Every structure is written in C-alpha cells, then in structure tokens.
Amino acid sequence: DVKQVGCVGVCNQVPMLEIHKAGEEPAFYTKIKANEVSEIIKNHFRSENWMSRFKNRFYNYAENLTFSDIPTSSNRYSANEEGTPIAEFLKGQVNVATEYRGEIKPSDFEEYKSKHGFEAFIKCLKELSPDEIIAQVEESGLKGRGGAGFPTFIKWNLVKNAKADQKYIICNGDEGDPGAFMDRMLLESYPFRVIEGILIAAYAVGASEGRLYIRAEYPLAVTRIKEGLEICKKEGLIGKNILGSDFSFDLKVFEGAGAFVCGEETALIASIEGKRGIPELRPPYPAEKGLWDKPTLINNTETLSMVPFIIRNGAESFKEIGTENSKGTKVFALAGKINRGGLIEVPMGITIRQIVEEIGGGIANGKKFKAVQIGGPSGGCIPAHMADTAIDFDSLKEVGAMMGSGGLIVLDESDCMVDIAHYFLSFTQEESCGRCTFCRIGTRRMLEILEKIKSGKGKLSDLDLLEQLAINTQKGSICGLGKTAPNPVLSTLKYFRHEYEAHIKGEC
Ligand code: SF4
C-alpha cells in the first residue's frame, strides 16, 4: 500500500519516504529525488509487477513536488537509529496536538478512528456532563495557544453559563504571522482531530453551530477540513441528534481573505458577518455577545487540537507535562538560520537553547547564534546570552517577549537587528486596520525613524523618540495588533541598542 501521510515536522529532510516491510525494520529515505524512487523500491521489493504499480502511483504524487533544490543524493536511516538528523530532531519532543505525526493519512477516517479517534467525543456524549468536561479542561491547566494564554476553561464556562437561544463556536485558523505554519499543519494533517476538539467544546458550552475560520491562502487545509466535515456528516458525528443523543450541531468552513487583524476575535466575527474586519472595543466579550450578537466561544486551532488528548487520557496526563503555570506542550514553527528547521511540539519549560542546539542542530553554516525572534510580529527578540530562558508564558513575558502563536525564527551574527525590527514593524503597519491613531500613524512614524536610522541619517535623540512612540502605541491601541506591534522595536532597543547606535554613528 502507498500512503501519503500528514506532516512529520522534519521539514529539513523532505521529501521523505518511509518503507515498512514485514519482517524488516522500517527504513526512512530523506531528501529523495523522483529518479531514485524506483531504485529504492527495487532494493526492498523485488516483484516487478508491484513495482510498476507503485511507480505509477508515486510518480503521480511526485509530479506535484518541486525537486529543483533537493541535494543530489538521498539518505537512508533505520527507524530508532540514534544520532541521525531525524532522531535528533524528534528527540525531546512530546506529541499531543501532533499525536501520531507522520503515521496517519489525513483524510482517512477509519485510520483516525483506529488511533483512538473520536473516543474522547463519544466519551463526552455518553459519560460526561458539560460541567465535568469543563472541569477536566480546568484541571489540565490548558491555556489558549493563539497568543494571549488565557485559561481555556474560563472562556468555556462563560459561554456555557450565558443565557441565549443560540450559541456559536469558532475555531480560529486565521494564522498570518510571517514564519508561522502551526495551524496550517494541524488543519492539513489532522482534520479529524481539529473537528473532534470543536465537537467536544461545542457540546460542553451548548453551541449548536460552528465555523472553522481558515485563511483562503491555505487551500489544502480548506480542502482537507471540508472532506473531513463531509465524512463526519455521513458518519453521524455532525448533524441532528448526534449518535442518538440530544446534541445537534452543524459546522461549516469560512474562508478568510488574508487580513492579519482578522485573527483578533472581534474582527474575525465581523468578517464572518460580512462586515469589514475591524476590532471592536471589549467588553462585551464574544463569550457574551459574539457572532450575530449571540454568545460565542472562540478558540485557536492548536488549543482545540489538544482537547481530545486531555479528555481521552485525563487531565493529569496533560498537566504532568510543562511547568507550574504553563501546562502541556506548545507547537512551534522553527525557522531561520538553523540547521534543522521544521514543525516541533515541545513541553512547556524547555529552554530556547535546547530548541536551537538540540532539536535544531545549532546555527547553519558555522555562524554564531545571535538571537531568536519569538511570537512573530507581536513577539520580541531574545538575545543568545539569554538562551537559557524557559519557554513558558511567564518567563517569556519577563524578558519582554511573548509566546504568540508559535513562530520561532533563529537569527545569526549576520542579521542586523534594526532590519529585523523594521521588517516586523512594516508587517504590522501594513496590517493595521487604521482604527486607532497610534496604531495607524504611530507605527508609520516609527517606521520612518527606523528608515532614517538604517540609511545612516538618524540622530541619537531619535532613539528616545522611537521608544516613546512605541510605548504610546502600546497604550493607545485597542487591540492586540497595535498593543504588541512595538514589541520587536522595544526588545531590540533593550538588548541591541548598540546596533542602532552603530547605524547612527555610521559604523555599519
Ligand atoms: Fe486596528 Fe491597530 Fe486599533 Fe487594532 S490597534 S483596532 S489593528 S488600528
């Protein structure tokens, strides 16, 4: 059988081929080229008939890939072989949201079920009351993985206790940070797990309708989720009186048009309602007055993906991973000047150094590690000398960064931190919806100052002005985009002020 599986996370070694043959240890081939496939198969399976069948099927898939930049020879590894790039990359990772990574064909319902799929939802329907489910989520310590780290059970309780004839649930898959692809991978690789998480949350809070908000730039995610929804409807997991219970629920996909600000809850709701995606002042919070003015639960894709694991294995199994105040795992998109980039899921409390050196294999091309930009455009830059900082909600806040949704970009000695601050600020400036003066104009003025400094025309007094504008923009913006947009500037000013000064003095 030939099977295309979901994301294995080891982006630095793709395209990958894994061969399982009865009586043999599985073999991995990495960075393979299309013209090597027949030889690899021949080495494992001698039957010519079988081989031609495989070749036809594999080449159909292979045609969709771009092989232009793949190194000239493929590598073979045995499963569990110590010291290989795959083993080293996966060592230290814990799979909760990415459980069974690389094993499941994403849209194969039977295969998902065979790996405990929908057991958690069925347990909820048949054995647990909504209060008991929410108590489990509270006990697990799960916090929102979309950036803010708000305790998940509080949101669930608010929606559950709201009095209304109709309640909604929205899965926020509007991932727009540069360098981030966590939600994309979860939606593409684990469509049934995301759907199961939504079903559990909807049942717990009493929502009868839901939307999966996915950006249209993720066409494969949209396709896989739509396929998954169709299958779930046929299997009686979505619709009226699900599995003979009193619970009825309908779930649809909404394709976002790509505005970063629509990741903000109230802007996302406006966008679904057909209005311009502009954040609203809160309160009222969506839990009280959300989609079409009804109580609405909004959770991030990764948060919901963790729920089936918690219900199936018990809150303890999740709680025992991580730190005192940050339980469980976090999925990161590890990118930048690193030897082994990819999609990783690590226990909270792991240090930046462990991620960069052990999982990522250190800095590429023998260069020196300089900093990590964590949390995307809303996050901050943490310098290499603080690489022993633990990755959890509190520790990152203390050093002026934030978890964000999970972008982790590694920088080396050749990266200019003024350029980095400029890059992220231009992104948020462009994506500002324009409602608040400081976010609209303050970020523009900050960018102008940065451009002046970069071109060698800056003055030392510009740095104070830049800092003051950044602080005022944080204070004077109503949503997370404006409040966090200055973070890359403030953190680079704090840790790399000498680079700003070097530009001003004409030393670089
Ligand atoms: Fe719009 Fe920026 Fe204000 Fe948010 S902070 S509402 S993005 S102008």
Q: What is the pLDDT of residue 71?
A: 34
Residue from 435, 472, 474, 483 whose mutation best tests the ligand 1 pocket (most atoms within 8 A of CB): 435
| Cα–Cα distance measured from residue 102 to residue 452, given in angstroms and rounded to the nearest whole number | 48
Q: What is the pLDDT of residue 414?
A: 97
pLDDT of residue 55: 59
pLDDT at 64: 45
Which residues lie closer than 8 Å to 185 by C-beta, 6 or more apart?
Answer: 6, 7, 9, 98, 331, 343
Nearest protein Cα to ligand 1, atom 3: 436
Tokens of 418: 């003024």
pLDDT per residue, tens digit, the chain (508 aa), is: 889 999 999 988 889 998 888 888 888 888 888 888 888 887 787 665 655 665 566 655 544 443 333 333 557 776 567 788 888 898 889 999 999 998 999 999 999 999 999 999 999 999 999 999 999 999 999 999 987 789 999 999 999 999 999 999 999 999 888 888 999 999 999 999 999 999 999 999 999 999 999 999 999 999 999 999 999 999 999 999 999 999 999 999 999 998 999 999 999 999 999 999 999 999 999 999 999 999 999 999 999 999 999 999 999 999 999 999 999 999 999 999 999 999 999 999 999 999 999 999 999 999 999 999 998 888 899 999 999 999 999 999 898 888 877 889 999 999 999 999 999 999 999 999 999 999 999 999 999 999 999 999 999 999 999 999 999 999 999 999 999 999 999 999 999 999 999 999 999 8
Tokens encoding 328:
């469980």
Ligand 1-lining residues (CB < 6 angstroms)? 261, 279, 432-436, 439-440, 477-479, 481-482
Bond before 377 cis per omega within 30 degrees? no
The pLDDT assigned to 46 comes to 65
Q: How far is the CA of 220 from the centre of ligand 1 (A)?
A: 30
SS (H, E, C) 79-123: CCCCCCHHHHHHCCCCCCCCCCCCCCCCCCHHHHHHCCCCHHHHH
Shortest-distance atom of ligand 1 to CA 482: 5
Distance 441 CA to ligand 1 centre (A): 11
Q: Give the Å distance between the CA of 104 and the centre of ligand 1.
A: 40
- The DSSP call for residue 76 is E
Distance 403 CA to ligand 1 centre (A): 20
pLDDT at residue 56, rounded to an integer: 64
At 143, is the secondary structure helix, strand, or coil? strand
Q: Which of 154, 167, 449, 118 is nearest to 303 (CA)?
A: 154
pLDDT at 74: 58
Q: How far apart are CA 187 and CA 302, in angstroms?
A: 9
Query: What's the pLDDT score for residue 47?
Result: 60
Which residue matches tokens 């031609």?
Answer: 52
Between CA 373 and CA 494 the distance in angstroms is: 14
Closest to 203 measured CA to CA, from 141, 245, 252: 245
| Residues 214, 107: Cα–Cα separation, whole Å | 17
Fold adopted by 417-504:
de novo design (two linked rop proteins) (1.20.1440)
CA distance 256 to 171: 12
**476, 458, 362: which is closest to 418 by C-alpha?**
458
Nearest-angstrom CA–CA distance, 112 and 97: 14
Q: Which residues contact 413 (CB under 8 A, 6 or more apart)?
A: 367, 368, 369, 370
Tell me the fold of 109-318.
Rossmann fold (3.40.50)
What pLDDT is attached to residue 335?
94
State residue 20's pLDDT score: 87
CATH number given to 329-410: 3.10.20.600
Tokens of 138: 């509270």
pLDDT at position 63 is 46
Q: Which of 174, 264, 436, 443 to mutate for ligand 1's pocket (most ligand atoms within 8 Å of CB)?
A: 436
Scored b (16 or more CB within 10 A) or e, 433-457 reads bebbebbbebbeebbebbebbbeee
- Longest C-alpha distance within the chain, in Å? 76
CB atoms within 10 A of CB 80: 10
Residue ranges per structural domain of the chain: 11-90, 109-318, 329-410, 417-504
Whether the Cβ atoms of residue 318 and residue 140 lie closer than 8 Å to each other: yes
**Ligand 1 atom with minimal separation from the 439 CA:** 2
Residue closest to 436 by CA, chosen among 404, 475, 468: 475
Q: Check if the beta carbon of residue 201 is closer than 8 Å to that of residue 133.
A: no
**104-125 burial, b for 16+ CB within 10 Å, e for fewer?**
bebbbbebbeeeebbebbbebb
C-alpha torsion angle, residues 288, 289, 294, 298 (rounded to 10)? -70
Q: Please say whether the dihedral angle defined by the alpha carbons of residues 407, 343, 91 and 83, taken in this order, is positive or negative.
A: negative
Chain centroid to Cα 444, Å, comes to 28
Testing ligand 1's pocket by substitution, the residue of 260, 433, 443, 444 carrying the most ligand atoms inside 8 A of its CB is 433
62 three-state secondary structure: helix
Q: Whose CA is nearest to atom 5 of ligand 1?
A: 482
Residues 6+ apart with CB under 8 A from 474: 482, 483, 484, 486
Give the pLDDT of residue 65: 40
In the DSSP assignment, the letter for residue 285 is P
Determine the angle formed by the axes of helices 182-189 and 301-313, rounding to 10 degrees: 60
Read off the tokens for 507: 């030393």
Q: Which run of H or E residues covers position 60? A: helix 48-62
